[in-house]
Amino acid sequence: MLGTRGVPAAYGGFETAVEEVGRRLVERGHEVVVYTRNAQDRRDEHLGMRVVHLPALRRKQLETLSHSALSSVHLVLRERPDAAFVFNAANAPFLPLLRAAQVPVALHMDGLEWKRSKWDGRGRAYYRWAEQFGVRHADALIADAPGIADYYRHQFEVDTELIRYGAPLLGNPSAEGLRGLGLEPEGYHLVVARFEPENHVLEIVEGYHRSASRLPLVVVGSAPYSAAYTDEISRIAADDPRIRLLGGIYDQELLDALYAHAFTYVHGHSVGGTNPSLLRALGAGAPVIAFDAGFNREVLEDRGWFFRTAEEAGTSLEIAEQDRAAARALGRLGRDNVERRFRWDEVARAYEDLAHRLATGHSVHPVARRSRRREDEWTG
C-alpha cells in the first residue's frame, strides 16, 4: 500500500483505510507492506503490517509525488508483491513502472481533487490529467462512493470497484477531556474540517454567528494553505464568544469524545466521496447538519438537516436546538445506518477479493487504455 502518509494513522481517510484494511488482511494471513513518510513513530511494524519508511520533500506540490516515486522504485526493486494498492490519483504517473515490473496495481481515485481551491490552475490541470492517465494505466480503479463511480463511468466510460470506507462505532467515551475545554455532553455543535472553501467552514461560522443558537459552536481544524480564508473565520469568531476555534486536535481519544458528546455535527464537505469525518460522527451517534451535496445525502440516506448557504446553516442549527427529541432520533438512525452499511470487515474483504483477482490476471487495462475524457462535464 503506497501513496499515503502511511501508518500509524494520524491524519485523513486514506491513512485510516490503510490501517484498518491492512491490519485485517494481516489477520487473514496476508503479508502487508505499507510505505510511510515523515512519521514520528519509526517502528518497522505496526499492527502486523511491515512499515517501510522513506523520505519526502516537504513541499505541498512535491511531498506526495516525491515519496510515491521512491516507494514505487523500492517496491519494484525490493518487494515485488502479488498486488499493489496505490492511493490518490496524483500518483498515477508511477503506474507504468509497477506494471512493467509485472506488479498488478489498483488505483484509489479519491474524490474530485481538481475541484479543491488549494490548487492553482496548474495543480488542477495536473489532477485532471492524472485522472485520465490513471484510468489508462491501472489494472483496477477504486471509487469510495457511488457518485465517484458515476463520474468515471460518465467521463471515461470505465467501470470502477466501489469500495466504501468503514466507520468506527464509538461507545460512550469519557467526557473528562471535554470539561477541560469548558464543554458539557450534548452542550455544543461540532465542526471538524480543514479550513478550505469547499468545506464551507466560513458559511457555517457565518450562519451560526447570525443565528439565535444558544449552544456554542466548536470548530476543530486548521488551514495549512489558506491564510486569508482562516483570517475571515477568525475575525467572525473574535466577535462572537459562542464560537470556539480549537485548531487541530490529534489526540484521538479527545477527538472521539468530541464526536460522541456533540449535540450536532455540522459537515460542510462538498467535493469528496464518502467522507471519513462524516462516518465517524454517524458512528458516534451525532445528529448531522450537512452541506447539500449528493455524496452527503447518499451517505446519510437523506436523514439529516441540509444547507447550501450561511443562512440555511444557521436556520438548521436553530431548528435542531428547538427539537432535541428529533435530533436524538436522527443520531440513532445515523448510527444504525453506518453499522449496517459501513463495516471495516466488509471493506477489508472487498480489498482481499480485489487483490486475489489482480494476482490472477484481472485487469481493466485492455479496455481502459484508450479511454478519453468526454468533453461535456459531469453534473452529478
* Predicted confidence (pLDDT) per residue in 27-72, tens digit: 999 999 999 998 888 999 999 999 999 999 987 678 999 999 999 9
**Per residue in 149-160, pLDDT tens?**
999 999 999 999
Q: How far apart are CA 168 and CA 145, in angstroms?
A: 18
Tell me what pLDDT residue 222 has. 82
Beta bridge partners of 143: 162
Host H or E run for residue 15: helix 13-27
Residues 6+ apart with CB under 8 A from 142: 85, 106, 107, 108, 109, 160, 161, 163, 354
Q: How far apart are CA 305 and CA 287, in angstroms?
A: 9
Tell me what pLDDT residue 11 has. 61
- Do both 354 and 323 map to the same domain? no
Residue 248 lies in a domain: yes
Please state the rounded mean pLDDT for residues 21-27. Answer: 98
- Do both 190 and 331 map to the same domain? yes
- Do both 103 and 208 map to the same domain? no
- Do both 242 and 315 map to the same domain? yes
Q: What is the pTM of this model?
A: 0.91
Does residue 164 register a pLDDT over 80?
yes
Residue 374 lies in a domain: no
- Do both 130 and 196 map to the same domain? no
- Do both 252 and 147 map to the same domain? no
DSSP per-residue string spanning 106-173: EEE--S-GGG-TTS-HHHHHHHHHHHHHHHHH-SEEEESSHHHHHHHHHHH----EE-----------
- Do both 224 and 334 map to the same domain? yes
Domain that holds residue 251: 176-341
- Do both 116 and 64 map to the same domain? yes
Give the Cβ contact number of residue 281 at 10 Å: 30
Residue 298 lies in a domain: yes
What domain count does the chain have? 2
Residue 309 lies in a domain: yes
- Do both 18 and 161 map to the same domain? yes
- Do both 67 and 213 map to the same domain? no
b/e map of 91-104 (b: 16 or more CB within 10 Å)? bbbbbebbbebebb
- Do both 44 and 149 map to the same domain? yes
Residue 375 lies in a domain: no
Does residue 303 register a pLDDT over 80?
yes
Please state the rounded mean pLDDT for residues 15-20. Answer: 94
Beta bridge partners of 140: 106
Residue 373 lies in a domain: no
**Per residue in 223-251, pLDDT tens?**
766 788 999 999 999 999 999 999 999 88
Residue 8 lies in a domain: no
Mean pLDDT (the chain) is 93
**Per residue in 196-213, pLDDT tens?**
899 999 999 999 999 999
- Do both 23 and 149 map to the same domain? yes
What CATH code is carried by the domain that includes residue 257?
A: 3.40.50.2000
**Per residue in 258-294, pLDDT tens?**
999 999 999 999 987 889 899 999 999 999 999 999 9
For residue 119, which phi and psi values (nearest 5 degrees)? -95, 135
Nearest C-alpha neighbor of 107 from the set 85, 122, 127: 85
Lowest mean pLDDT among 105-119, 204-218, 341-355: 105-119
Residue 376 lies in a domain: no
Residue reference for cell 456533540:
262
Tell me what pLDDT residue 38 has. 84
